[in-house]
Structure 1
Amino acid sequence: MAPSAVEIVNFVEMARESPMRGDGPGMALLMLPFLLCFGLPAAVLGTLCAVLPTLSLADWAGRRGGAGRDAWWRVPVAAGCWAAVVALWPAAAGGGPGTWWWAWLCGTAALSTVALLTRWALSRVRPYRSLLGAGLLSVAAVLGTGSLAYGTGLVDEYAPPRVHASDLAGTWNDGRGGTLRLDPDGRAVAVGTRGDDSEPDPVDRGCEGSGTWRFEPDDNPWLQHVAIDAGGCWPGEWTLGGTAGRPKLNYAYGDPDSPDWYVLTRSR
C-alpha cells in the first residue's frame, strides 16, 4: 500500500501550486526498493500494533453482539477507536482539537482500508499471494487513474504563468513589510526584504538597495526566470510562480536538494 500512497501524493502535488516542479508518480517506482527494504519493519510494526488489534477488536465485538465475523462494518468502527487514541499525540503536541480531528479522520480511513484488505486476504487460501496481488493491482489502478485524469485534461497539471517583462513591472511584497519595486526601465529597488530569520543565509539578514533587473523568457514556463541585482541582495535567479492573476517571484536558498523559498507576491 505504501507505493500506492506515494503515487496518490505525487499525483495530488502535480496539481498544486508549487515553486518547483514535482517528481510525479514515477517517484513511487524509484522508491519501491527503499520502501521494500526499509519500510518492511515499519509495516510489520504497524500490523502488530494496529491492524491485528483492530481485527481482533472487531471480531470480539461481533461475537459479543451476536453478529459474528460477517459484520465487516465493525472493522472501521474499531479502527476509529484506535485512531482516536493515536490522534491524541499530535493534538497534545500543540495541534489542538482541529489537528486531532484530521488525524483521527485520516487514521481511521487508512487503518480501515488496510484492515479490511487484510480481513479479506485472511479468508483466502493463499493470503500472502492475495495481499501481494491486491497491492500490485492497487499500484496499477492508481497509476492508470491518475494518468487518465491528467491525460484527458480532467485535472490540469500546475505550471507557472507565462508572463512578459511588462507584466513584472510594479511592486512586490513578502507579506512581512519587505517590498521590491521593479520599474519598467529595468531599475530595481528593495526595501526591508528578508527571508526566514532562522536560516544563516545572506538573504535572511535583511537587504535594502537598488540595482537592475531583467526577465529571461523561455518556452518552458518552469525555466523562465528573473535576474535581480538590487545591491547584491540575491545572487542567482528568481523563478515565476503563482497564477496569471496573482503571480509570484520565488527565490531558493539553503539546501539545494531541499531548498527554502523566499516568496514575493505582486501587489494589487
Structure 2
Amino acid sequence: MDTSSIIQKIKENKKQPNLRYRLKKKTEAFTDLLFLTLFDIETPVAENLEKLEVQFDELVSLACWDVKKPCKQIWQNYVSTLPQILEKLNLDAEAIASCDPASLSIEEVYMAYPGFYAIAIYRLAHGFYGKGFPMVPRLMTEYAHRQTGVDINPGAQIGDSFFIDHATGVVIGETAVIKNNVKIYQGVTLGALYVAKNLEKTKRHPTIEDNVTIYANATILGGQTVIGENSVIGGNSWLTSSVPANSTVFHTPEIKIKTSRRVS
C-alpha cells in the first residue's frame, strides 16, 4: 500500500467530527489559571477573570456541540458561584490542616496536598456539570486524576469540610453523595455494584452521611448503600449494603506468623 492510500485510509477511519485533542490541552491551561486565580496571593483576580473568559470562549467553540445550548451564558453564571466555591475549598483545607498531624501549616495543604488539589478541581468542575457542556468538567477532573491518582467524577455531590488523606487510588463515582465532615483515606472506592449503559440515569453509587471516616482500601458499592452518620469503616472492608448510624465496620484477616528456630 502506497503512502497516499495509507493517508486516505486513516482519514476514512477518523469518524469522530468533534474529536479535537487541543480541547484537552486548553482545558488544562484553563484549569491551571482558574486554580491560581482563586488561591495564589500574587495572581491578579480581575485581570485573570478576563483571561479566563477568553479561554472559556475557546472551550465553548471546541466543546459545545449542541447548538441549541447557550454555552456562552454559562460563564457569567459560573463566575458568580466562584466565591461560594472558594469558601467551600477553604473549609476543606481547614479540615485537612486540623485533622492531619503531619501538616505543618495550612499553606502546605494548599500547595502540597494531592487530596486538596483533587477536591479543588472537582469543586471547580462540578460548577459546569449538568450545564449541557459535559466534556470540559470531565477533562478537568481527569487532569487532576492524572496528577494525584484521585478519580472524582464531576457529577458527585460532596458536602463541606471534605478530607482525602494521602489521596492515591481514591475513586468516587458520578452519583455518589458525600455529606459534611467526611474523611477518607487512600485506596477507597465509592463505586457501582455493576456497570450497564441502561443505568445511566439511575443512582449507582453510595451515600455517605455526616462525620463518617473510611479507612484505606475500603470498597463501598451500590446506589442504595448508605453509610450512617458518625460511622467508621475499617481498612479493606467490602460493603454492598447499608450501615446504621454510629457503627464501626472492620475487616479481620487471618494472619499467621511462623518463626523458625535460628540455626547457627
TM-score range normalised by the length of the shorter chain = under 0.3
Say which structure is richer in helix.
Answer: 1
What is the TM-score normalised by the length of structure 2? Answer: 0.20
Question: Which protein is bigger by CA-based radius of gyration?
Answer: 1
What is the TM-score normalised by the length of structure 1? Answer: 0.19
